[in-house]
Every structure is written in structure tokens, then in C-alpha cells.
Amino acid sequence: MRWLGVALVFLTIVPLHVLVSLVWRRDAVPPIFLGLMGRVAGLRIRTEGVPCRGGLFLANHISWLDILALAKTSQAVFVAHSGLAGHGGLKWLCDQNDTVFITRDRRGSVASQVEQVRAALSDRPLVIFPEGTTDDGTALLPFRSSLLSAVEPLAGQVPIQPVALDYADAAAIAWFGDEPGMTNVRRILSRRGRIELTIRFLEPLSGEALANRKTMTAEAQQAIAQALRLPLAAQIP
């Protein structure tokens, strides 16, 4: 039944999005589309706290469901690995929500990535997953600070908000290790029952936490680890 729901959402929303993009705004429909996809996949979301308008979200990363959930609750835009840009249909979907593609494994590209992130800051929040990949929900992976260079000069002007994604059964839905993406999608869509998720929009960073990108990263990681009651991984550059 969930596969049928996915097909119905695509057939209904994609033509609507194309029409709305021609006569109004391209960013109006994608958050609705992503939210509906999350609902079809079984997501049931509860929120705590208030998402900041604009600025930067720093969130832990468990699953592709994270993107559907944050788009629904905050109309967010995302930073994603450039590997996704190699898949035509998926890239088109990402482009419709103004995804920022970066290449994390090329050190020489950090400066250009910083400019991409800075340019993407707008009224819609921009989400970075500082772990750089998904995990199994048992501990936070080390947070990376390099992309926060984009907002370092704007500290105190642009809100920088940690966001804790707390799944009731993270280990069962997590996408990590060697599991292929489509295998995980099929596994999630074949599940019965709901996927309960609490999104905790934590207090924006302030004071000494805004001193530089490393302090921002460390404070965000600590806040999320405390909210999720998870072990705190060591910070890396």
C-alpha cells in the first residue's frame, strides 16, 4: 500500500509543482511533497521547541527520512553529498528544493563549498548534517566543522540552531554501513506501523559558542548528544 501511496503522490504533486513553478514560486510545493512522502512512509512527527526562520540548522543524521521530516516541519533546504547529483531523477528532485551539493572528500574544494553554503542562506533554514553521513542511532559520529566557515563571519547575525532527531526505534530504520540506498527504501516502505519521530529544535547557539566554527560545532554536538542521551563522540576538524 505504501508503494501505491508513493506513486499517487508523485502523479499528483509533480505536475502541480511544475504548474506552480511556472506561474508563481518554485519553492512552494517541494516541502509539501516531501512532507507527504514522509507521511506515506509512516512518519509521525512531534516537535519540541521553535525552529528559527532562516539561518542554519545542525542536525544528527539517521536516515533519508530526516530530510522529509525537516522539510515538512520547517521548509528547510539541505546540504547534500555531490554523489547524489549523479542520479538524474534524484538530482532533479533535489534541485526542486534548492539542495546545495558539496564534495566532502576534496580538501581543495572547501572554499567553494563555503561560498555555496553562504549563498544558500535565505528565509528558509539551511540544514547541514555535520556527521557527514548517517549512523545507527547508538552514538553520534564526530561532527565536522569545515562547512561552518560559511557562517563564521555572520555569528550573532544568522541564527545557528542545533536540531535533535529522536526516532523511537532508530536502529530499525537507520541507513548506514554497506546497505544500498534502494534496499533501505524498500525496507522502510515494507514496514508495518508508524515511525515515531520527535524533532527537538534546541536553543540557538549564543555567547562564547559563536566564537568560531570549532566552538559552534562542539557546542552543537554536545547539545544534540544531551538531548538524545547519546555518547558524545570526539570532535574532528
Per-residue pLDDT reduced to its tens digit, 195-236: 999 999 999 999 999 999 999 999 999 999 999 988 766 555
Q: Is the pLDDT of residue 108 over 70?
A: no
Give bridge partners of residue 166 from the DSSP assignment.
198
- pLDDT at residue 181, as a whole number: 81
Delimit the domains of the chain by residue range: 2-228
- Residue that has been written with the C-alpha cell 541564527 in this structure: 159
Distance CA 199, CA 46 (A): 6
* pLDDT confidence bin for 110, thresholds 50/70/90: low
pLDDT, one tens digit per residue, over 32-88 is 888 999 999 999 999 999 999 888 999 999 998 999 999 999 989 888 765 554 454
Proportion of the chain above pLDDT 70, given as a percent: 88
At 104, list the grid cell. Answer: 566532502
At 108, list the grid cell. Answer: 581543495
Residues 6+ apart with CB under 8 A from 57: 51, 70, 74, 76, 125, 126, 127, 128, 161, 162, 163
Strands 160-167 and 195-201: antiparallel
Q: Which class in CATH covers the domain with range 2-228? A: alpha beta
* pLDDT confidence bin for 127, thresholds 50/70/90: very high
* CA separation, residue 144 to residues 6, 58, 60, 84 (Å): 34, 11, 12, 20
Question: How far apart, in Å, do the first and last CA atoms of the chain sit?
Answer: 45
Q: Is the pLDDT of residue 25 over 90?
A: no
Between 226 and 138, the higher pLDDT residue:
226
At 216, list the grid cell. Answer: 559552534
- pLDDT at residue 199, as a whole number: 97
Q: Which of 80-89, 128-137, 170-179 has the lowest mean pLDDT?
A: 80-89
